[in-house]
Chain A
Amino acid sequence: MERILRSKEMAEIILLPVRHHSPACALHISRMIEKIRPGVILVEGPGNANSLISVMVHEDTKAPFAIYYSYHDTTGLISEEKEHYRCYYPFLDYSPELAALRTGKRLGIPTAFIDLPYGDILAASQEGKGLLKKEEEKNNYNDDYLLSRNAYLGQLCEKTGLRSFDEFWEKYFELNGLGQESEKWFSDLLTYCALARENTPEEVMREDGCLAREIYMAEQIQEYAQKEVSSESPVLVVTGGFHTPGLMKALGAESRMNALFMWEAENQNDALPAQKTENQNDVLPAQKTENQNDALPKRKAPKRTTEAIEVKNRNEALLKRKVPEKDQGVYVMPYSMEAADALNGYASGMPFPGFYQKIWENISEMDTPYENAVLDLIVSSGKETRKKEGYLSTYDEICACAMARGLAGLRGKQEPGAYELLDAVLSSFIKGECNMASDTPMRILRKQMTGNAVGELCSSADVPPIIYDFQTECKKYGLKTGSTLETEVTLSIFSSSKHRQISMLFNRMNFLETAFARKVKGPNLQLKKDRNLLREIWKYKWSAQVNSALIDVSVYGATIEEAAIGLVKEELKKELGAKESAILLTKVFEMGLREQLQTVYDRVHELMLLDVDFYSIAEALKSLMMMEELSILYESKMEFSQLIHLGCQKLITLLPSMTRIKDEDLDQCMKALKLLYQLTGRDTDSQFVQEREAYYEALQRMSQDVEIHAGLNGCIQGILYGSGKKTAEAVEMICRGYLTGTSEQLFCTAQFFRGLFFTARDLVFIGTQFLEMLDEFFGRVTEDEFMGLLPELRMAFTYFTPREIDKIAARVAALHGKKEDILSRKAILPDWYSYGKEMDAYVRSRMEGGEVSHE
């Protein structure tokens, strides 16, 4: 702890360093507050959350919860993209900051947050650094990485034989720190933090906005200290340990440091190093011992006046961009242990929140909180392992306990901690080689150490407008939000406009990933499936998580529709292909969004322009046409003709490059061609009429490529014939070309027919040329070759209706001089069939000399 002594202008300031999420720290902080009885408690945290403190310390509010900060960069302060930003500040029962706030409430001491508002922190950070880090996961306000990742620390862990900073912390500050005097504990922590800070380049601190925040916090502290000048009680400041030395400096107290350290020296006796040497060979780097008392005071102390000017200049430089209030949002939301676990990649404070929660609960009640928690977890994970795997005995649990204790002794820890627990379970519960198949006990333990608690908020908690909007919508449509049971509703979306609106709400909630409703049955526009269905069946269920998820997206807008459209735009910022963006558009279509659609169209337009994948554009076009068709049913006012026109143009431009496709792409390609044929055939729309000529020209050009895929060629010939660009004779010529070609080309005839029949099957019924050619084709191939071509031929004939097949058969029969009736088989009555079967059985049994069985 650091004291800045009382002066004429200011009350005494006491700076307490903390590590976020630490049971020992939370314990010591409550003790210190009780001892010092400060006049005001200032806590590190964005200042715009001050109004939430009453909710956070309310007795109905249960941790874990998080403060949610959002900022919409409407003025483009941070980047030109004007993006949305958000971050979380999680609190657990054993977070020192929360302990300080709660103790403050208990003792009637006012409390306040003193950090820069969230948006200003962002503005003070450099791109890609600090809270502007581009990670796909959530950003945390209280990221300790400056404390837990530096060069000094790496050496420290190596020398002390500990695996990581977390183990180091647990050993020296948690396990051995619980029984310490609070003053000594804070002074040890400060020593560590000062060293960590010395080993962090100033560049890094500036880039992630750390320095700007400290300057602002120091200003705030000074303000409060001036206000409190008349009172006898000091101002207590609780900040991350990394900032404490920086705050000292920013408060201009450096010159007085010597006095402070002397005061400390009286209270502590060579705290850390002495304790370390007791622990046999765990020797800290010499640096630590040396630096203990003289590192900071040695630094040159600039004169007060020049420093004040320097500070002021820097303040102005760093804080010149003031972020508008209205663009910032701040709410408390329930959080979960899983999300709070550092091992899940959020990197905030210690891992294993479930384990330390137990420690926190044990601290006040027993002398050996760790040993009891370890025992509890060995038993509970043992029980679950037994249930799942079946082999574990009580003796294994006894061995694990002995192992945990033995390891604690060997490692010089007062009680077994999280790492001894993990080691104990690893060595005593796992039989045989440790691998994926045998490490179930470890996985069970890890899960239990994470915990599964979910926080709750008191009823007076302020919620963002989006939640009110959600509640009003639900009330309007009579959806139950009181019960947590799943309810099923059937919506006739096409006949009832109310039903359609409910469906829109569900779709929007789904898009916002709130897990509120799920569609069980109904048309699926994304996959273009089940489009014949007239009703949608939904199941919905309200839970606290729905609210959390809504708070999470509240940065995008005040109503559900606004948030949905915001998120759509966010999605569109990604480099989507034409197909994906059209699928996104189908979601917009289902959600019935009406506002700000122009920007969405523009972006989809852009994405389609960028895409050069023929099939992707064809898929997109199909989706667009489907929506256009369904517009009336869905009562949508969305405009697709522009996009469809664009897709059509792009496809036609890309067409000439598609001649040499692979066999497996044939189907898709033919469908795209047909789609274009339908589109350009629209007489009603003048813009498509223009494309018609370009389309036929492209087709003509394609068919001139000698190496064109035969199937595609057939398809093109069919279209050209259908549009009157080619005569039946011309098509016949081409077909004959394949037929009379060399053997490879001969086989292609089957594919050619397939393509041709796909677009122009009526050719077969004009004259007899095509049938003769087919006949000739069959005559030329051998039996084996025919079998090989059969699948292709079957495909070719699937485009005909049964009646047409009959007609073809009759003609072929005539061609071979047979009469039509050799083909016709009359239907057999069921009675006749069963009679025949019975007769058959009878005859057989008689011939075999057995009995007649009546079936």
Chain B
Amino acid sequence: MEQEFIKPPVEVRYKEELEALKATDTGNKPENWQMSPKAVRTFILGSPKPVVYKDKEYLIEKKYLGNDALVERCIVTLAGNRGLMLVGEPGTAKTMLSELLSAAISGVSTNTIQGTAGTTEDMIKYSWNYALLLAKGPSREALVPSPLYVGMERGILTRFEEITRTPAEIQDSLISVLSDKVLNVPELGDDGFLFAKAGFNVIGTANTRDKGVNEMSSALKRRFNFETVMPVREAAMEKRIIINEVNKLADEAHIAMQADEDVAEILASTYHELREGVSSYGHRIDKPSAVMSTAEAVSVYYQAMITGYYYGDAEISMEALVQNLVGAVSKENKDDLEKVKGYFNTVIRDKSSKEGGLWKEYYEARKWLR
């Protein structure tokens, strides 16, 4: 794979896999979809049997670990008349899921509106190239299409990231597009109606932490099917995710290191216990207010790994891990660090005396918690 990006888009990363699936797909396809819903499911949830294409075997790995039924519902929703809205805590892989879905269904995951507090209506609908506008008057050439416009024109999915960061009145410009599937450009006169092509739909993502920032109007809510993405509830699965993601990142950055199972387990259990508020030994733990998401755990691990790679002897050290953990938890509230300290002084202490080994190192690295 060519390494031109820090992070290649999904359709580039899994190009061959997608091609193999497309070529071997026998299911019914909704109009303008690149592959059938069943193949989309296989792409995201993996398949135990390798797909054979051009004399090569492709083992489709499971890309989204979590709730299989949720993925199935998402696929069916996108084939239907309503948009898909993924809501949940930060770091629950909502964006990743939406990228996987659009790459599999439309072949592109980059047709995206990135919602911010400064998003305006013309970023959602269309704007003008003013030089052309002055030279030629309002015409299709002078129009700069937005991702939504592109999606309707080409019959592909449009992703709307962080929709609730956008002011409610701006969000509402989606309402008529989603229900009537038509966008009116009055400046173009009679030709100004853009009718959505089959295959068009919208995947939105929204953070539950943003609740109350910009509440979605109920009119807009009605145009979406909501899927709540829950944080991973099992420490074992969290460990799997950390290892997978870290290895992927390391690969992309040409770091010749692999994630260590035991370290990943320690980190996964730390995040898991701090989020759930109870340890595997039954200690009650004060929950930090900072987001203790799996995505955060991945970045803590990855940072510690880089430290080890460049400054250490290509070994991940517990000290680096704890140092990065400090940076990750003490973002919003000073008390959080105290809570993590307390966690180390009770739970990790007990584990280190019982399990020894890495746990002991981990416990000794607590001096960096400050």
Contact = CB atoms under 8 A, between A and B. Distances in A.
Given A403-B73, A423-B72, A410 B208 contact: no
Contacts of B218: 391, 431
A281 B49 contact: yes
Contacts of A396: 222
B68 A427 contact: no
A281 B42 contact: yes
B77 interface: yes
10 contacts: A161-B45, A281-B42, A281-B49, A395-B222, A399-B81, A403-B76, A406-B79, A423-B72, A428-B82, A431-B218
B69 A403 contact: no
B72 A410 contact: yes
Contacts of A433: 87-88, 208, 211, 226, 228
Contact of A406 (B47, B48, B76): B76
A411 to B, nearest CB: 7
Given A395-B222, A427-B225, A431-B221, 13 more contacts: A280-B27, A280-B38, A281-B48, A403-B76, A403-B80, A406-B80, A409-B37, A410-B76, A419-B69, A431-B222, A432-B87, A433-B88, A434-B226
Interface of B: 27, 37-38, 41-42, 45, 47-49, 68-69, 72-73, 75-77, 79-82, 87-88, 208, 211, 216, 218, 221-222, 225-228
B210 to A, nearest CB: 11
Interface string A416-451: 000100010011101111110000000000000000
Contacts of B73: 403, 407, 423, 426-427
Interface in A156-182: 159, 161, 163
A283 interface: yes
B203 to A, nearest CB: 13
A658 interface: no
B69 A163 contact: yes
Closest A-B pairs by Cβ, 7 of them: A406-B76, A434-B228, A431-B221, A427-B225, A427-B73, A433-B87, A281-B47
A490 interface: no
A619 B216 CA distance: 59
Interface of A: 159, 161, 163, 280-281, 283, 391, 393, 395-396, 399, 402-403, 406-407, 409-411, 419, 423, 426-428, 430-435
Nearest to B45: A161
B77 A393 contact: no
Counting chain A CB atoms within 10 Å of each CB, the highest count among B27, B75, B222, B226 belongs to: B226
Counting chain B CB atoms within 10 Å of each CB, the highest count among A280, A410, A431 belongs to: A410
A407 B227 CA distance: 15
B221 A432 contact: yes
A398 to B, nearest CB: 9
A696 B208 CA distance: 69
A280 B49 CA distance: 10
B226 A161 contact: no
A418 B106 CA distance: 31
A435 B228 CA distance: 9
Contacts of A283: 48-49
A462 to B, nearest CB: 47
Contacts of B227: 427
A399 B226 contact: no
B225 to A, nearest CB: 5
B291 to A, nearest CB: 15
Nearest to B89: A433
A423 B41 CA distance: 16
A558 B333 CA distance: 68
Nearest to A158: B48
Given A161-B68, A406-B37, A410-B72, A427 B226 contact: yes
A229 to B, nearest CB: 51
Nearest to A411: B72
Nearest to B225: A427
Contacts of B221: 431-432
A433 B226 CA distance: 7
A399 B27 contact: no
A435 B226 CA distance: 12
Nearest to B39: A280
A403 B41 CA distance: 15
A240 B324 CA distance: 57
A159 B38 contact: no
A423 B222 CA distance: 17
Contacts of B222: 393, 395-396, 431
Nearest to A163: B69
Contacts of B45: 161
Contacts of A428: 82, 225
B80 A410 contact: no
A401 to B, nearest CB: 10
B57 to A, nearest CB: 15
Contact of B77 (A161, A403, A434): A403
Given A410-B72, A419-B69, A399 B228 contact: no
Nearest to B40: A410
Contacts of B41: 410
Nearest to A392: B222
A393 B48 CA distance: 41
Contacts of B226: 427, 430-434
Nearest to B220: A431
B72 A159 contact: no
Contacts of A410: 37-38, 41, 72, 75-76
A280 B35 CA distance: 15
A280 B72 CA distance: 15
Contacts of A419: 69
Nearest to B227: A427
Given A161-B68, A427-B226, A433-B226, A399 B80 contact: yes
A402 B47 contact: no
Nearest to A430: B226
A219 to B, nearest CB: 45
Nearest to B216: A432
Counting chain B CB atoms within 10 Å of each CB, the highest count among A407, A431, A433 belongs to: A433
Nearest to B87: A433
A406 B88 CA distance: 24
A428 B88 CA distance: 17
